[in-house]
Amino acid sequence: MISFIRKAVRMPNSSVPEPLAGRVALVTGGSRGIGFEAARELGMLGATVVVIGMDPGRVSAAAHSLVAQGIDAVGESADVADASSMDDLAARLGSLASPDILVISAGVMSDKASKTLRTSAEEWDRVLGVNLDGAFHAMRLFVPGMAERRDGRVITVSACLGRFSGPGTSGGLAPYRVSKAALNAMTKNLAAELMHGKRGVLVDAMCPNHCRTDMGGPQAPRSAAEGAETIVWLATRESVNPNGMAVETGLLWEDRQVVPW
Ligand SMILES: NC(=O)c1ccc[n+]([C@@H]2O[C@H](COP(=O)([O-])OP(=O)(O)OC[C@H]3O[C@@H](n4cnc5c(N)ncnc54)[C@H](OP(=O)(O)O)[C@@H]3O)[C@@H](O)[C@H]2O)c1
């Protein structure tokens, strides 16, 4: 299933700096919510953005909306939980399957009543499939190019509910909490495999906090754009600080601050 929309000619506003011009940002879960806002901000900074979602209509609407805002945007539909769907996606994307920035935001919440002993096998597979397998498929397909080029940014959108500290794994919503705890582990592990930024690829997890999206609900305290702010910051930061020191990576961030896993 494909939805493909692209601006024929990009017309950057020359008075506005575009630090990501020439860069490609791929955002899973970019068709809605926090992922869409991250894609929009990265596009506003000049990146070509590839938004991935499951529903072709929503992907198309998201890409149209980005293009209408002057962003070079491509929308593609795929099931992140399905290995062959993701393989097909990468084949369709061609060179866009080797992005400079990967934001893994696709996610689903588990049923409210999903304490461990009340969770069906189907519910477990559904949530772990999207939140964990989906992140793995995105990493295995879209990060190798960064590793080869020794340049890239990977941001996984985690959740406070996956932490072993603070409001983390304290019971209930078992598939969701465990998927995010595992996502944290996968992020930390990949960061270590890529030598904690020494090979030019920064890999980090972040928690957007409770945001007004379809998942977060209308009463959440933050907007989706506020939730996306740290994603964009992680995606655009330099690998060395102004003192020439390598920046910290392989960590969990919230509001640009490191928080315990
Ligand atoms: N909102 C919050 O308060 C909050 C708090 C902490 C963490 N988070 C995390 O932030 C991330 C984004 O959440 P959100 O609130 O923006 O969620 P959302 O508004 O519900 O959007 C979910 C996104 O994931 C995509 N998606 C779901 N299943 C997919 C699949 N199988 N294949 C491809 N794409 C799929 C959806 O695509 P379709 O449109 O096609 O369904 C949509 O783009 C999630 O990982 C979530 O766990 C959110």
Ordered domains of the chain (ranges, CATH): 24-259 (3.40.50.720)
Token pair for 206: 């972040």
Enumerate the H helices of the chain as residue ranges.
33-44, 56-68, 83-93, 121-128, 134-142, 144-149, 174-193, 224-236
Residues labelled as active-site residues: 176
Q: Kindly tell me if the per-residue pLDDT of 93 is higher than 60.
A: yes
CB 175 less than 6 A from any atom of ligand 1: no
| Distance of CA 106 from the midpoint of ligand 1 (Å) | 4
- Are 154 and 199 in contact by the 8 Å Cβ rule? The answer is no
For residue 103, how many C-alpha atoms fall within 13 Å in the half-sphere facing its CB? 37
Q: Kindly tell me if the per-residue pLDDT of 218 is higher than 80.
A: yes
Token pair for 56: 């072709």
pLDDT band for position 212 (50/70/90)?
very high
- Give φ, ψ of 14 to 5 degrees: -65, -20
CB 183 less than 6 A from any atom of ligand 1: no
pLDDT band for position 107 (50/70/90)?
very high
- Give φ, ψ of 169 to 5 degrees: -70, 70
CB 127 less than 6 A from any atom of ligand 1: no
CB contact burial 103-137 (16+ within 10 A = b; e otherwise): bbbbbbbbbeebeeeebeeebbebbbbbbbbbbbb
DSSP code, position 242: T
Q: Kindly tell me if the per-residue pLDDT of 17 is higher than 80.
A: no
| Distance of CA 42 from the midpoint of ligand 1 (Å) | 18
- What CA–CA distance (Å, rounded) separates 90 from 102? 13
CB atoms within 10 A of CB 172: 15
Considering only CA atoms, which residue is closest to atom 11 of ligand 1?
105
Model pLDDT, residue 8: 38
Indicate the average pLDDT of the chain. 94
Model pLDDT, residue 42: 98
CB 73 less than 6 A from any atom of ligand 1: no
What is the best residue among 105, 206, 231 to mutate for testing ligand 1's pocket, by most ligand atoms within 8 Å of CB? 105
| Distance of CA 157 from the midpoint of ligand 1 (Å) | 9
**Closest Cα partner for 134 from 196, 53, 242, 60?**
53
CB 53 less than 6 A from any atom of ligand 1: yes
| Distance of CA 110 from the midpoint of ligand 1 (Å) | 12
Which residue in the block uniquely carries the two structure tokens 């993701």?
A: 86
Token pair for 105: 């935001």
Token pair for 250: 């392989």
Considering only CA atoms, which residue is closest to atom 45 of ligand 1?
107
| Distance of CA 109 from the midpoint of ligand 1 (Å) | 8
CB 32 less than 6 A from any atom of ligand 1: yes
**Closest Cα partner for 183 from 57, 3, 29?**
29
DSSP code, position 133: I
pTM of the model as a whole: 0.96
Q: Kindly tell me if the per-residue pLDDT of 36 is higher than 60.
A: yes
Lowest mean per-residue pLDDT among 9-13, 23-27, 157-161, 249-253: 9-13
CB 211 less than 6 A from any atom of ligand 1: yes
